[in-house]
Chains A and B, each alone.
Chain A
Amino acid sequence: MSRMARQEARAAKLFLIPAFCGLTFLTYLPLIAVFALSFFKWTAIMPQPIFVGLNNYVKLFTRDMFFWTSIKVTVLYALLTVGVSMIYTLSIAMLLNRKMPARGFFRAVFYVPYIIPAMAMYMSWALLYNPDFGVFNALLASQGIQKIGFLSDSRFIIPSISLIAVWASGNLIVIFLAGLGNVPRVYHEAAEIDGANGWQRFVNITMPCMTPIVFYNLLLSLIANMQVVVPSLIYAGSNRTTYPEYTFMSFLMYRTGFINNDLSYASAISFVFFLIIGFFTLILFTTSKSWLFYEGGDR
């Protein structure tokens, strides 16, 4: 028996070699490395990194004019996108969660934007938002309203790119639908016999049963949206200092590390970025205890 157990453990470790390599060399060691590197100065022209202590952080917090802006716009963008896309996807999932014609077709339609490669998606919206060739401005013009620079007017940049992300969030609908399908029917039937109306059943049965999935979607979409960078790479490529709204944290990191070739300073930005995302994740986890509902027992 113990020989078999040993054999089993050996097989397990053998099979897990890829995961082990991934976790060590692609996840946890680089995380340590990014932290370590943030205490050095190392630009592209320097052969060896030089230890500079907290210099990078001091510069980041006191002298970098982009840093605070980047935190502000990233958080604003992420909260706006996550909020709107959660409301949008949960509503559509609720509507689709009933017998209706072409249900599978609709589910596929809402998912399609998620399949479109990010680059193609932002290219398409660049046309839609374009001041001279775009449909939105053509509509405004036909009503005699002035043109709007959706991607170049600082009041509109964040809502405009947020809308693109919401448009592409249809994958959440599929996950929500899966969750709604798992809400036990008996609960609804029992409540109906007790005379609960549709709204009461939604608040007291559907929502509590859905909280784990809402939490899961909230967490993953928050982490994903905090990392926003592609719109900046495409829309702010040539005039990147003009609009502070495009200096998302990931973009600031990319620009510092790969355009200005300052890998150590970019590491400091990365690590602060990691802490900020960690902070939001922590908030989600701690508050979730008060609203998360796990169905006990059956299933």
Chain B
Amino acid sequence: MVVRGGLQSKRRRERVTTLIAFLFVTLFALMVLFPLWWIFRSSLMTNPEIGTLNMLPSRWLVSNYPEALKVFTYFKFLGNTMTIVVPCVVFGTITAIFCGYSFARLYFRGRSFVFGLCIASLLLPPVVTLIPLYIGWIRILGLGGTYWPLILPYLTGGGAFNIFLIRQFIMSVPREMDEAAKIDGAGRMRILLQILVPSIKPAIIVVALFIFIGIWNDVLQQTVYITKQEMNTIALGLKRFTGSYGTDWRLAMASTCMSIVPGILVYLICQKYFVEGIVVTGMKN
């Protein structure tokens, strides 16, 4: 009897703490969402109304969007951004798979040394090497005025972190699966493509998403390497709103909202795998 009573009060207490936790989380979630709502509501208002505390527009000025498109050539910018993003994501992910596979499954002398160099490079801030890389791309290779300096670095396994991630995932696949396939006469490529790749699908999606976010978030590299107006990406297109005094906020906010959408869509599509992928990264670091 006593034990049951204790359990019941414990369960009740737990329910109360869960409720308090839920309220706190809701409060914070609202705080996180507030800026997003604010720019969305601003994108549908007149400039004077933006400065008020109205949570909703008095008239929903959807016409701000077509007007914004006249100064902010969204689809052109999106196309330019995708010209960088698509090859980076595709080839970055493919090379990451091969490199990660090598580190996880294939033995050669000096492997742990090379892998150590790979991990150490995670600690090197990319900003530090910006100058020599700029000299290399522009002065030595003459790639100024092209997207290559932004694309080529991603063709090297998409960066050490992504290689590391793929390696960890492949290592978590039991070796017996490789052995069994080998006995059945499968070659290395078949083992990789037909056994390992399907079983590390979440990792592959996470890597693709990370590469996407990396480019999507980048401002500095694009500022340095993109010098022609007609090559501007979304980030650089938005940047033009900041230069002038007396920003037209409703157009700036309409453009900002449009810029946010593709990233959110990609995230929502990948979300299921994404959480799974992060769980394993967190476990293995």
Contact = CB atoms under 8 A, between A and B. Distances in A.
Interface of A is mostly: helix
A110 B133 CA distance: 35
Contacts of B253: 123-124, 127
B5 interface: no
A11 B123 CA distance: 28
B1 interface: no
B263 A117 contact: yes
A98 B238 contact: no
B18 A99 contact: yes
A19 B157 contact: yes
B51 interface: yes
B123 A118 contact: no
Given A118-B219, A273-B125, A124 B39 contact: yes
B85 to A, nearest CB: 11
A52 interface: no
- Mostly, the B contact residues are helix
Contacts of A274: 124-125, 128
Contacts of A177: 282
Nearest to A116: B260
Interface residues of A, number: 101
> In this complex, which of A23, A107, A176 has the most chain B Cβ atoms within 10 angstroms of its Cβ?
A23
Nearest to A103: B25
Contact of A119 (B38, B235, B282): B235
User: Which 5 pairs, one residue from A and one from B, show the smallest C-beta to C-beta distance?
Assistant: A22-B156, A178-B282, A9-B108, A12-B106, A33-B132
B111 interface: yes
Given A9-B108, A253-B131, A170 B279 contact: no
Contacts of A226: 125
A12 B155 contact: no
B251 to A, nearest CB: 11
B121 A23 contact: yes
A128 B125 contact: no
16 contacts: A16-B102, A21-B156, A27-B129, A29-B132, A98-B17, A109-B32, A119-B234, A119-B239, A123-B241, A126-B247, A174-B275, A198-B17, A233-B223, A257-B130, A257-B134, A270-B128
Interface of A: 5, 8-9, 11-13, 15-16, 18-23, 25-31, 33-34, 37, 92, 95-96, 98-101, 104, 106-120, 123-128, 130, 132-135, 138-139, 142, 167, 170, 174-179, 181-182, 198, 212-213, 216, 219, 223, 226-227, 229-230, 233-235, 237-238, 250, 253-254, 257-258, 263, 266-267, 270-271, 273-274, 277-278, 281
B121 A112 contact: no
B60 interface: no
Interface of B: 17-18, 21-22, 24-26, 28-29, 32-33, 35-36, 38-39, 42, 47, 50-53, 95, 98-99, 101-103, 106-109, 111, 114, 117-118, 121, 123-136, 153, 155-157, 159-160, 163, 188, 213, 216-220, 223-224, 234-236, 238-239, 241-243, 247, 249, 252-253, 256, 259-260, 263-264, 266-268, 271, 275, 278-283, 285
Given A8-B108, A18-B156, A115-B264, A174 B278 contact: yes
Given A5-B107, A13-B108, A98 B18 contact: yes
B102 A15 contact: yes
Contact of B235 (A101, A117, A125, A267): A117
Contact of A27 (B95, B124, B131, B281): B124
Contacts of B132: 29-30, 33-34, 37, 267
Contacts of A119: 219, 234-236, 238-239, 259
Contacts of B118: 19, 23
A66 B107 CA distance: 50
Given A9-B109, A27-B124, A263 B131 contact: yes
A29 B263 CA distance: 34
Nearest to B42: A127
Contacts of B106: 8-9, 11-12, 15
Contacts of A233: 219-220, 223, 239
Given A106-B29, A120-B259, A124-B256, A237 B242 contact: yes
